[in-house]
A and B are shown apart, each in its own frame.
Chain A
């Protein structure tokens, strides 16, 4: 069964606003990653957070991880139209495979 579940499924905001996406998972993890996918394109790795980390920043991205609640959030600050994409969380599983969530489709209107 799918490890990661994300919400919301779709999010529409205006340029300049912040966007927050959430991911929940079911079993213990070593790390959690966030990816972006533009329509019809490949995956772009955004950020990895390890199970012993609570927060991580990269540019306009802020990721939090709460292992007690088995959840993570991705915050994109001061969003731009170019941030329009689908965002996926992925957790590690035995054997090195990744388990992806269903994704959040973000639309940033100029």
Chain B
């Protein structure tokens, strides 16, 4: 059973470009969480999604950021018009239906660098 997969592992973008980060949850998992880790800091919650639904986006910046988890395919975190302050590691975690915090499995992360 493959773990949570994220790609790309490293992404370089110039200011103003778009960044798309993908997260494939573990098989059988229908809940996805995205977290951001700025340099020298802990992870901060961004958004919680179930298939085709955004459940909690209280940690998402109001502008330029969006997330989706379609019926088929991976969850996508999209950052439009990136700025240098978006440089960070972005982690996703997945959990099974009904699962809570004690059944979250983390992916290896995508490290975004904005030039």
B106 touches A102 (CB 8 A): no
Instruction: Check B55–A98 contact: CB distance below 8 A.
Output: no
Cβ B100 vs Cβ A42 within 8 A = no
Contacts of B93 in A (CB 8 A): 98
Is the Cβ of B48 less than 8 Å from the Cβ of A103? no
Pick from A2, A4, A97: contact of B33, CB under 8 Å? A97
* Smallest CB separation, B75 vs chain A (Å): 15
Inter-subunit contact B91/A96 (CB<8 Å): no
Whether A31 pairs with B42 at a CB distance below 8 angstroms is: no
User: Is B42 a contact partner of A92 (Cβ separation < 8 A)?
Assistant: no
Over the window 89-115 of chain B, the binary record of Cβ atoms lying under 8 Å from chain A Cβ atoms (1 yes, 0 no) is 001010100011110101111010000
B56 to chain A, nearest CB (A): 5
Cβ-neighbour of B108 out of A33, A42, A88 (below 8 A): A42
- Beta-carbon nearest neighbor of B111 in chain A: A40
Q: How large is the interface on B (under 10, 10 to 19, 20 to 34, 35 or more residues)?
A: 20 to 34
Residue in A2, A41, A95, A99 whose CB lies within 8 Å of B56? A95
Q: How far is the CA of A41 from the CA of B108 in the complex (A)?
A: 7
A97–B101 CB distance below 8 A: yes
Residues in chain B near residue A34, CB distance under 8 A: none
Determine if A48 is an interface residue (Cβ-Cβ < 8 Å): yes
Given contacts A96-B31, A99-B45, contact A48 B91 (CB under 8 A): no
B44 interfacial by beta-carbon distance below 8 Å: yes
A30 within 8 Å of B by Cβ?
A: yes
Supposing A42-B106, A42-B108, A43-B106 touch, asked if A96 and B101 sit within 8 A by C-beta, the answer is: yes
**B72 proximal to A (CB < 8 A):** no
Top 8 closest pairs, chain A to chain B, by CB? A92-B101, A100-B42, A42-B108, A97-B45, A100-B43, A43-B106, A95-B56, A102-B42
Which positions in B face A, CB cutoff 8 Å?
31, 33, 35, 41-45, 48, 55-56, 59, 91, 93, 95, 99-102, 104, 106-109, 111
